[in-house]
Amino acid sequence: MTGPRRHLLTLDALSAGELDQLVRRAAAYAAAGGRAQGRPLDGATVGIYFRRTSTRTRTSFTVAAHRLGAHTIAYGPNDLQENTGETVEDTARVLSGMLDGFVARTAGDPAELRALAAQDRMTVVNAMTSDEHPTQAVADLATVLTVRGSLDGLSLLYLGEGNNTASALAFALARVPGACLDLRTPAGYGLPDELVRRAARTAAERGGEVTQRHDLADLPAKAHVVYTTRWQTTGTSKADPDWRRHFTPFQVSSLLLDQVPEAVFMHDLPARRGDEVEAAVLDGPRSIAFQQAEHKLHAAMAVLEWAVAGWR
């Protein structure tokens, strides 16, 4: 390890420069075929704690740690003594004496990760809480950078639920010069207004925009990316039994994608063909969703190197 350990709990805590470093490092790992030069995490041990299901994020961080030279310990939802009443603070105190990094998906209250990060011996990485999925957005921007060659002036149209992926995109694009994020979410299922206002203020400082509407009127025909997520976010359910009626108009269909002719299609996966996206779109020539999934490994490598090894 060559520098101080950092935590990645929310992209809203990063400077524009820090986010740019992470995204460019992830893109560089992609260009290198996901191979590291050297072993920047040699001798480190990283805990991988997933309380909820995961295919991409858990695999990407485990493989990333190994490729960077670290050892990993996997914890399932019933493995830690929190289940028997140990406090989060005591858990953090114990783990930080043994681990160099702790990658955690709780899908719950972000306060738990903040408590785990209230020490300076062990890096804590948010692999998804109820309010944000920061490493997903790092992977997303790295994918766009790889495909488009630049992030400046990026225009992204997001359709669907205002979930933790959407909030990460809002904080991320707010830090990209001239970027515009147009969120279209069903009424009652959008991002909190205060979060959108905060992201919009940050975006305005760099000549960009973050907006949210609850209709499909006046879609931006010049968007570079159309993005959606699964309507049932991991670890959540909806109280309204008739919720699909509100979501159906926001499906990314071939007809809708044709209205944005220059855009590529992105999805954080897993997908449900026929719900949030038509199969013809997800499997079509304009979809980069599976390239995007592979970039999760490259993003995980960049995040671990930056946070655990103190790379600058």
Domain ranges of the chain: 11-132+296-308, 137-292
Supply the pLDDT for residue 310. Answer: 85
Cα 295–Cα 298–Cα 304 angle in degrees, nearest 5: 140
Per-residue model confidence (pLDDT) at position 192: 98
Q: Name the band, by pLDDT with cuts 50, 70 and 90, for residue 312.
A: low
pLDDT at 304: 97
More confident residue, 311 or 8: 8
Q: Which residue type sits at 201? A: R
Quickly state the pLDDT bin for 21 (edges 50, 70, 90).
very high
What pLDDT score does 174 carry? 98
What pLDDT shows up at residue 107? 82
Fold of 11-132+296-308: Rossmann fold (3.40.50)
pLDDT tens, residue by residue, 100-126: 999 999 988 999 999 999 999 999 999
CB under 8 Å to 6, separation ≥6 — which residues? Answer: 123, 306, 307, 310
CATH class of 137-292: alpha beta
Q: 188-239 pLDDT, tens per residue?
A: 999 999 999 999 999 999 999 999 999 999 999 899 999 999 998 776 789 8
* Mean pLDDT for all residues in the chain: 96
Instruction: Give yes or no on whether 11-132+296-308 and 137-292 have one common fold.
Output: yes
Over residues 70-92, the mean pLDDT reads: 96
Q: What is the mean pLDDT of residues 45-70?
A: 97
Distance of CA 104 to the CA centre of its chain: 13
Amino acid 5: pLDDT:
78
pLDDT surpasses 80 at 146:
yes
- Is the CB of residue 306 less than 8 Å from the CB of residue 24? no
Q: Is 3 a residue whose pLDDT tops 80? A: no
Q: Cα separations (Å) of 170 from 6, 33, 62, 166, 228?
A: 22, 28, 27, 6, 14
Furthest CA-CA distance within the chain = 55
Q: 129 falls in which pLDDT band (50, 70, 90)? A: very high
Residue 260: both structure tokens together: 């944005």
Cα 191 to Cα 290: distance, rounded to the nearest angstrom? 26
pLDDT in tens, 152-168: 999 999 999 999 999 99
